[in-house]
């Protein structure tokens, strides 16, 4: 499909390459999203505290929250590589790895969804076959 794309729409294709480069640059710059808040003494987002933080703030840990807080164990929790060493360099590198992993997974999921949604009689298969 991508092949067909490139041949068919040179201008559009150029834009999509540029935009991918943009997303790549954002991935490499992503550690700014943890370094700057850290430097300015900003904590996490409002309403995204851990159970311990909630307990400190409100004096108790809500029962239901206790039960549900660990409903899911995410493999790269907090955008970190499991077992990564402490310190700003490692957390920055881990964050970049998380960004690249997440970008790939999101783009992959979106690509799958698109494949399912594009009609078989639409431009996708039709054009591919015509090209062969």
107 binds other proteins (CB under 8 A): yes
Instruction: Find the binding residues for other proteins in span 31-60 (CB under 8 A).
Output: 32-34, 36-37, 40-48, 51, 54, 58, 60
Tell me the backbone φ, ψ of residue 101, rounded to 5 degrees: -60, -45
* Min CB(88)–other proteins separation in Å: 15
Using CA atoms of 37, 38, 43, 48 in order, give the dihedral in degrees to the nearest 10.
80
Residue among 26 and 85 whose Cβ is closer to other proteins: 26
Residue 2 makes contact with other proteins by CB under 8 A: yes
Range 34-68 burial, b when 16+ CB lie within 10 A, else e: beeeeeeeeeeeeeebeeeebeeeeeeeeeeeeee
130 makes contact with other proteins (CB under 8 A): no
CB contact set of 26 (below 8 Å; sequence gap of 6+): 99
* Residue 120 lies near other proteins (rule: CB under 8 A): no
Question: Binding marks (x or -) toward other proteins, 68..87, rule CB under 8 A?
Answer: xxxxxxxxxxxx--------
19 binds other proteins (CB under 8 A): yes
């Amino acid at each position: 499909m991508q092949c067909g794309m490139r041949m068919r729409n040179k201008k559009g294709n150029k834009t999509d390459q540029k935009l991918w480069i943009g997303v790549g640059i954002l991935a490499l710059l992503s550690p700014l999203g943890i370094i700057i808040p850290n430097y300015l003494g900003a904590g996490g987002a409002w309403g995204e505290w851990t159970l311990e933080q909630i307990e400190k703030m409100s004096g108790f840990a809500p029962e239901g929250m206790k039960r549900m807080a660990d409903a899911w164990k995410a493999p790269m929790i907090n955008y970190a590589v499991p077992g990564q060493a402490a310190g700003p360099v490692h957390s920055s590198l881990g964050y970049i790895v998380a960004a690249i992993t997440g970008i790939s997974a999101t783009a992959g999921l979106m690509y799958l969804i698109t494949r399912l949604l594009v009609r078989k009689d639409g431009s996708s298969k039709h054009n591919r076959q015509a090209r062969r």
